[in-house]
Amino acid sequence: MKINIKHIAKLANLSISEEEEKKFDRQLSIIVKYIEKLKEADVENTEETSQITGLENVTREDKTTSSLSQDEALSNTKNKHNGLFKVPKII
Amino acid sequence: MSLNTLTIKKAKEGLKRKEFSSVDLVKACLSEIEKRKSLNAFITVTEKEALIHAEENDKKIKDGINLSLLGLPISLKDIYLTKGIRTTAASKVLDGYIPQYNAAVVNKLYEAGAIIIGKTNCDAWAHGSSGENSDFGPTKNPYNEEYVPGGSSSGSAVSVAASLSIASMGTDTGGSIRLPASFCNVVGLKPTYGRVSRFGIISMASSLDSIGHFTKTVEDSAHLLSVTAGRDVDDGTSPDEKVDNYESYLGKDIKGLKIGLPKEYFSEGLDKRIKELIEKKVKELERLGATVEIISLPNTEYGIACYYIIQPAEVSSNLGRYDGIRYGSARQNFGAEAKRRIMLGTYVLSSGYYDAYYKKAMRIRTLIKEDFANAFKKVDVLITPVSPTMPWKIGEKFSDPLSMYLSDIYTVTANLAGIPGLSVPIGLIEGLPVGMQIMGPHFSEGKLFQVGQVIEDSEL
């Protein structure tokens, strides 16, 4: 099964070099071949597990509590303007 | 005697009897950290803050205030958010990141009087089993600096093994506490999933991440868990389950205890010397009154494949937030292992592949969970090796990712099933440490400490 590394990298928003592309293609192919092992297992009548300790619908009261101030929230970026995060143009 | 070599128990006694101060303890640790710089166990040493806190705690001690961890220097894996203290996840992406808040567990440690002495080195983003994937250089094994200390909580294991701190906090998603504990001759606990809050700890795989710690003794491990365990409203996966009195399990015998040895964990692939050492220890436990039964966990062979689908899938989602907008630098600064896992995860979740890989892995996860549930109907605890091999030389497995992944073979199943696991030292083979793993049902940490301490006290 040939992995389309370029396509995957695009989906993952990762820019990788030609050299990296070749290396990852090689390494990921080996790993994917190993995980194909799962094909041997019979799971026809088995449910999926995503929450391992059986918790469901964990909620809290809809009350606001203290959080970060605007300055604190912006403290780890240079991309800010007028108390807002600056992002690349999307539209 | 060097104060940094004390256990939590002995350090607390000494502080109470005024034999030394918290400042003395911190200074001893700082001096050892400097002496053992070559181990590369720390990314940030919080020397100034630690000494200020130590002075404050000495006043509290003088005033007769009694807190669980008062005056004790503890280190944290550098994925624990610490307010005002650089937190890097051992990655170039977060090199300048200064958190604006503490992880919930960090607040608990502070409230218990603990002193944070520094942030330890680890595999970047907790991706790794050896400590070699750090963007800040590999950590070395204190028993032989040419060998790996295990990962991903490499620096934390070394921090305790080399007495650079009295205890250390780590995380375990597929074995990242139990494996380095085994390689560094210290006690490592992976609690039940959700037992300790994950809030404020950089997420790797959210359904697998478990928050645990390294200590010099089983007794210390029980003491530390009684501080960190408990419900947290900010972590939706932390249950209401009452926190057990872990220290009440210490000093109990194991007469009538039913131990299970899963045959799949003792087959070919396991270093014969490790197998012999474990068998010797188990015979000793039988002599002390336990019964031993060979059982089967039939879906063990799918563990690694299942884990290396679910974990990278969740990693690819969790690392999506590092877009360089609110914090961190560009995504091209991710190291090779992070990129591999992000891409593997993206691939197994992508259209056309989701059912064949991710959905299937989620079902196999159910089978693995059921294997353990069935086993625990017959036995109280399971004993297994932690690692199929002894620690390897730095660089030996680095260019073979799959070989690195296969070293997790005995540890990933506990994360898939959400059950707790304790790694206890059982000796050295040619100068390098070996650990043994004890696993139990959800929330059975007390029983693990009970068995662990008996193993610790037993003679070979």
The per-residue pLDDT for B88 is 98
Q: Which residues contact B399 (CB under 8 A, 6 or more apart)?
A: none
Q: What are phi and psi of B37, to 5 degrees?
A: -55, -35
Q: Find the residue in A nearest to B192 (Cα).
A: A53
Q: Which residue blocks in B351-436 are alpha helix, DSSP H?
A: 360-378, 401-406, 412-417
CB B416 within 8 A of CB B218: no
Question: A52 at the B interface (CB within 8 A)?
Answer: yes
Read off the tokens for B334.
């991710």
Catalytic annotation, pick one of B21, B27, B75, B77: B77
Task: State how far the Cα of A49 lies from the Cα of A52, in Å rounded to an integer.
Answer: 6
Q: Which residues contact B238 (CB under 8 A, 6 or more apart)?
A: B194, B195, B196, B197, B198, B230, B231, B232
Residues in chain B closer than 8 A to A3 (CB atoms): 347
Read off the tokens for B449.
């400490």
Task: State how far the Cα of B123 lies from the Cα of B125, in Å rounded to an integer.
Answer: 6
Nearest C-alpha neighbor of B37 from the set B115, B153, B139: B139
Residues in chain B closer than 8 A to A37 (CB atoms): 301-302, 305
Q: Find the residue in A nearest to B339 (Cα).
A: A14
The per-residue pLDDT for A1 is 59
Task: State how far the Cα of B216 lies from the Cα of B220, in Å rounded to an integer.
Answer: 7
Read off the tokens for A15.
């820019």
C-beta atoms of A87 and B325 within 8 A: yes
Question: B369 at the A interface (CB within 8 A)?
Answer: yes
Nearest C-alpha neighbor of A30 from the set B352, B405, B128: B405
Nearest CB to A12; choose among B207, B316, B336 = B316
CB B447 within 8 A of CB B253: no
CB B201 within 8 A of CB B209: yes
Is B152 considered catalytic here? Answer: yes
C-beta atoms of B100 and A72 within 8 A: yes
Read off the tokens for B455.
């193993």
Task: State how far the Cα of B137 lies from the Cα of B126, in Å rounded to an integer.
Answer: 14
The per-residue pLDDT for A65 is 87
Give A26→chain B minimum CA distance, Å.
11
> What are the per-10-residue average pLDDT scores of chain B (460 residues)?
94 96 98 98 98 97 96 98 98 96 98 98 98 98 98 98 98 98 98 98 98 98 98 95 97 97 95 97 97 98 96 98 95 96 96 93 97 98 98 93 92 98 97 98 98 90
CB B48 within 8 A of CB B142: no
C-beta atoms of B344 and A28 within 8 A: yes
List beta partners, residue B262: B295
Nearest CB to A27; choose among B207, B366, B401 = B401
pLDDT digits (tens, 9 = 90+) for A48-83: 998 898 899 999 889 998 889 999 999 999 999 999
What is B380-403 written as a DSSP string?
SEEEEES-SSPPPBTTSSTT-HHH
CB pairs A-B closer than 8 Å: 144
Which whole-number Å values give the CA distances from A10 to A4, B136, B340, in the listed order?
10, 28, 14
The per-residue pLDDT for A24 is 95
The per-residue pLDDT for A60 is 87
Give B100→chain A minimum CA distance, Å.
6
C-beta atoms of B417 and A55 within 8 A: no
pLDDT digits (tens, 9 = 90+) for A9-50: 999 999 999 999 999 999 999 999 999 999 999 999 999 998
Nearest CB to A53; choose among B239, B325, B361 = B239
Catalytic annotation, pick one of B134, B154, B165, B176: B176
- Pairing status of strand B381-385 against strand B167-172: unpaired
B403 burial level (CB within 10 Å; 0-12, 13-18, 19+): middle
Question: A13 at the B interface (CB within 8 A)?
Answer: yes
Nearest C-alpha neighbor of B212 from the set B274, B126, B92: B126
* pLDDT(A88) > 90: no
